[in-house]
Each structure stands twice: as C-alpha cells, then as structure tokens.
Amino acid sequence: MDFKVVWSPEATEDLESIVEYIAKDSEFYARAVVSKILDVSRNIMDVPLSGRIVPEIGDESIRERFVYSYRFVYRKEETKILIVAIIHGKRLLENISKRFENKQTTIQ
C-alpha cells in the first residue's frame, strides 16, 4: 500500500532553514541536500518502516532516516506518513516532542 506523504509546517520550516544555512556557503550543496531529503520523502511512501525507530522515543510508528548529518523524522499513520522534523544530528530530539502532538499538517 502506498501512503500519502504530508509535511508538517515545522518540518517545512526546518527544510527552509537548512537550505538557507547551507546556501550561505554553497548553493550547490544546498540544492544537493534538499534533493536528497526530497528523495527520501518520496521513497518512504513505498516502505514506511524502512527507517529505524527513533531511540529516544521508542514508538514503532515514529521513525527516522539519516540524510547527510540530518535526522529525517516521520510518523507512520494509518493512510499517511507525516514528516515531523528534519533536524541536525547533534540537536536534541526532546526539543521537538510537541510536534508529535500537533495534528495540523500541510501537504507539500
């Protein structure tokens, strides 16, 4: 079963911030990172359980994939995959715990 991928507003902001930050040094690498992140978002539609369970949370429905030094965090729901955050690997996940409670989403 294919799932619909939905981006939370916060995840969209995360991606925009990443692009702006990397583009200060290299627009080429900023585009490469965005391209890879978007590839991952498309690929998880087919195999949503391919990411590892986020160790700090321990919930089987909340998974992550690594894209360069970023953690691509998503939640598998009944018919969709909600992209919750894209954060640097050194950033604490507890700072985004409220995002899992947020039910409002935007489609990207």
H/E element holding 9?
Answer: helix 9-23
Tokens 């583009």, located at residue: 23
Query: Does residue 106 have a pLDDT over 50?
Result: no
- Summarised one tens digit per residue, pLDDT across range 78-98 is 889 999 999 988 765 655 656
**Is the torsion defined by CA of 24, 16, 63, 90 positive or negative?**
positive
Domain spans in the chain, listed from the N-terminal domain onward: 4-100
In Å, the largest CA–CA distance within the chain is 41
Which pTM does this prediction carry?
0.83
Q: In the CATH hierarchy, which fold is given to the domain comprising 4-100? A: YaeB-like fold (3.30.2310)
CA 40/CA 25 separation, integer angstroms:
24
Query: Does residue 104 have a pLDDT over 50?
Result: no
- Summarised one tens digit per residue, pLDDT across range 27-77 is 999 999 999 999 999 999 888 888 999 888 888 999 999 999 999 999 999
What is the CA angle 100-4-48, rounded to 5?
70
